[in-house]
Amino acid sequence: MNILMMTNTYKPIVGGLEKSVSCFSKEYRDAGHRVIIVAPEFPDMQPEEDVIRIPSIQNYYGSDFSVQMPIQGTLTEALGDFQPHIVHAHHPFFIGDTALRIASKYNVPLVFTHHSLYEENVHYMPGNEEALKRFVIELSTGYANLADHVFAPSESVMQMMKERGVVTAVDVVPTGIYTASFTKGAGKTFRKKLNIPQDVFVVGHIGRLASEKNLEFMTKAVALFLKKEPKAHFLIGGTGPSEDSIKEIMMQEGVMDRLHLAGMLKGKDLVNAYDAMDVFVFASQSETQGLVVTEAMAAGIPVVAVDAPGVREVVQDFVNGRLLMNENIEDFVSALGWIRKQPVFRIKKIREACQITAQRFEMKKCAQKALDIYISLSVNKGFFRRKHADGFWSNAIRSFQVQWGVAKNLTHATEALLIN
């Protein structure tokens, strides 16, 4: 099977979506399928086989993301004799419209993964925030209804999409992880590298350091915990615009000397960082899955998190961590204290429960589920192929339908934007 993956963001950016595209593509290729990834150009990107890079405007309104230039004709030329059997869009905006047109051109099914709560990222855009939220919700919902099939990373997101009016078939296909790799960390070595004492309790977090991750709340809670626990330290992996505000909070609370910023982590360093932690903290409300939560669990690290889509399917309160129903600093500090006070035998059981949970997200299982859906769609020909056979007029009608669908979706979303 020939699979065309289309995304607004990819390596060298490190995040859940980028990992998803990379890992699923690897599994498909290992299973004997050919995958081409269409992604924007980024500074410092490395050449990669079967990855087509397209021109883009970098750092859209100060974010890590890019905006692709119109490239359908150029992309068709770049694909050469590659005839996709499935087109998989990983964003409903920018590259998403191109994915619709490419699926129509080749008369193949379009799959869309609803990776993000897009409305939680509108602070990167100019304009009225509430209006923009309505706009992106309507636009992503409409896009899902133009696709042949939708992947939701979690049950919560699938339910949310249906409540918003998605009528296209939706399946839960989480981004998987290679669970075995997270059981082989060298935490002691990592602590030594960052000058973290071996006998202290380490609170850890890994992810992109951006405001939509709710890092101010999380940092304030951890700082207060550190003030109560003199032998506790805070380890953060990742980079982003919120790094300075994290430092400022830690300085204001007088615990800056116990903050350890590890920077961007990949490969063995990432695994070692998880192993260096005693508890992982997570407070983001903008995730659809929270891949780092699953990675921490695979490493056997209990998680303290605020209830959110994707997170509630992973964290079980008092079983593999603490799941807090409300965003309350005192409750978060108390939950960290609960983990800290557990006896060794109890921590062992919690760590075992973490790794059992992570097994549900083994990468090969997730990839096989996605492939099974691809194959079913290909056999049943998908929306565009059900509607029309091949031929000049059929192709023209199909192309018009796509253009009309895109325009209608944009118009409907714009109406939501203009509501007072």
Question: Who contacts 244 (Cβ-Cβ below 8 Å, separation ≥6)?
Answer: none
Least confident of 55-69, 227-241, 271-285, 288-302: 55-69
Helix axes 16-30, 363-380, angle to 10 degrees: 70
Least confident of 94-108, 261-275, 354-368: 94-108
Predicted pLDDT at 394: 45
Residue 125 has pLDDT above 60, yes or no: no
**pLDDT tens, residue by residue, 237-246:** 999 999 999 9
d(CA 388, CA 376): 18
Predicted pLDDT at 21: 97
Q: What is the mean pLDDT of residues 341-367?
A: 97
Decide which of 97 and 393 is more confident.
97
**pTM given for the model:** 0.84
For the chain, what percentages of helix, strand and coil (3-state, to nearest 5) are there?
A: 50, 15, 35
Residue 393 — very low, low, confident or very high, per pLDDT cuts 50/70/90? very low
Cα–chain center distance at 381? 29
**pLDDT tens, residue by residue, 235-275:** 999 999 999 999 999 999 999 999 999 999 999 999 999 99
Beta bridge partners of 149: 111
Residue 75 — very low, low, confident or very high, per pLDDT cuts 50/70/90? confident
d(CA 178, CA 82): 29
Share of the chain above pLDDT 70, in %: 84
Predicted pLDDT at 385: 47
**pLDDT tens, residue by residue, 46-69:** 889 999 998 876 555 455 555 555
What is the edge-to-edge ordering of all strands in the sheet holding 51-54? 51-54, 34-40, 2-6, 86-89, 110-113, 149-152, 170-172
Question: Who contacts 153 (Cβ-Cβ below 8 Å, separation ≥6)?
Answer: 113, 114, 115, 172, 173, 174, 175, 288, 289, 310
d(CA 409, CA 13): 29
Tokens of 13: 């950016």
| C-beta separation of 26 from 109 below 8 A | no
Predicted pLDDT at 47: 86
Predicted pLDDT at 384: 46
b/e per residue, 237-267, with b = 16+ CB within 10 A? bbbbebbeebeebbeeeebeebbbbbeebee
Whose tokens are 């859906």? That residue is 373
Residue 334 has pLDDT above 90, yes or no: yes
Q: What is the mean pLDDT of residues 310-338?
A: 97
Bridge pairing between strands 56-57 and 67-68: antiparallel
Predicted pLDDT at 406: 54
d(CA 419, CA 413): 10
What topology is assigned to 179-361 in CATH? Rossmann fold (3.40.50)
Residue 158 — very low, low, confident or very high, per pLDDT cuts 50/70/90? very high
Question: Who contacts 204 (Cβ-Cβ below 8 Å, separation ≥6)?
Answer: 234, 235, 236, 237, 273, 274, 276, 277, 278, 279, 280, 281, 296, 301
Predicted pLDDT at 117: 79
Decide which of 76 and 377 is more confident.
377
Q: What is the mean pLDDT of residues 382-407?
A: 49
Predicted pLDDT at 237: 97
d(CA 185, CA 179): 12
Predicted pLDDT at 308: 92
Q: Check for a shared fold between 2-176+363-417 and 179-361.
A: yes
Whose tokens are 């005192």? That residue is 330
Give the up-direction half-sphere exposure of residue 313: CA atoms within 13 A in the CB hemisphere: 22
Neighbours of 51 (CB within 10 A): 19
Decide which of 393 and 375 is more confident.
375
Beta bridge partners of 414: none
Predicted pLDDT at 290: 85
Q: Domain residue spans in the chain?
A: 2-176+363-417, 179-361
In CATH terms, the superfamily for domain 2-176+363-417 is Glycogen Phosphorylase B; (3.40.50.2000)
d(CA 201, CA 203): 7
**pLDDT tens, residue by residue, 167-188:** 999 999 999 999 999 999 999 9
d(CA 243, CA 234): 13
| C-beta separation of 253 from 227 below 8 A | yes
